[in-house]
Amino acid sequence: MGHRLGVFVSGTGRHLENFAAQIAEGRLDAEIALVLSNRSDVLALDRARRLELETCVLDPERELDAASFSERAFASAREHGCDTILLAGFLRKLVIPEHWIGRVLNIHPSLLPAFGGKGFYGSRVHRAVLERGCQFSGCTVHYVDNEYDHGPILLQRCLRIEAGETSESLAGRIFEEEQIAYPEALQLHLQRATT
């Protein structure tokens, strides 16, 4: 049996589908044991069900504080035997228990530490990059700690910003890099976990 993954989602589930494809094609020695969402109305859950993956919706009404939400989320991950958690477009503050430090990964659509932190997600990041006049951007896969977009970096991919770039075109190009970077970073993590 491969390394057991929990994938936490809040959106479309494109990363989830990418991981499932990588696993099905034998490029990742892992299995998705749990797909957890903080929203009940997201496409990611439809994708998970189509892929016949175990799903859990936790606190869609946002009644729990961050600590209580996190406690329940990680309890669910433990119950499903997860070894590693992948945040895949997950937009809810997590408090990472000590036991999970170094076992929770996230992908961010900029070259951290630039354009990271609270409020920097999705198109907000790309607009800020373009407004600043940056010549390069990219994506970063990092370990999650208890500060936004702060933990140790596993892998980055970089691209040059083109003349006439819009936040939409930049988002599309960076997402293509993310589809490569996140599985590569997970592979690095899995190699570390087995040595």
Please tell me the distance from the alpha carbon of residue 132 to that of residue 134, in angstroms, as a whole number: 6
What pLDDT, in 10s, does the model give residues 64-92? 999 999 999 999 999 999 999 999 999 89
- For 103, other C-beta atoms within 10 Å of its C-beta total 18
Residue 134 — very low, low, confident or very high, per pLDDT cuts 50/70/90? very high
Per-residue model confidence (pLDDT) at position 148: 86
- For 133, other C-beta atoms within 10 Å of its C-beta total 7
Question: Structure pTM?
Answer: 0.94
- For 9, other C-beta atoms within 10 Å of its C-beta total 27
Of the candidates 3, 108, 126, 189, the residue annotated as catalytic is 108
SS3 151: coil
Please tell me the distance from the alpha carbon of residue 105 to that of residue 154, in angstroms, as a whole number: 9
Per-residue model confidence (pLDDT) at position 52: 97
Question: Across residues 36-56, what is the average pLDDT?
Answer: 97
Domains of the chain: 1-100 (3.40.50.170), 107-195 (3.40.50.170)
- For 15, other C-beta atoms within 10 Å of its C-beta total 23
**Greatest Cα pair distance in the chain:** 50
Question: Across residues 10-33, what is the average pLDDT?
Answer: 96
Decide if 108 is catalytic.
yes
What pLDDT, in 10s, does the model give residues 48-66? 999 999 999 999 999 999 9
Per-residue model confidence (pLDDT) at position 118: 85
Question: Across residues 144-162, what is the average pLDDT?
Answer: 94
Helix axis angle, 167-193 to 123-132, nearest 10°: 110
Contact 87, 108 (CB under 8 A): no
Residue 2 — very low, low, confident or very high, per pLDDT cuts 50/70/90? confident
Question: Across residues 120-144, what is the average pLDDT?
Answer: 95
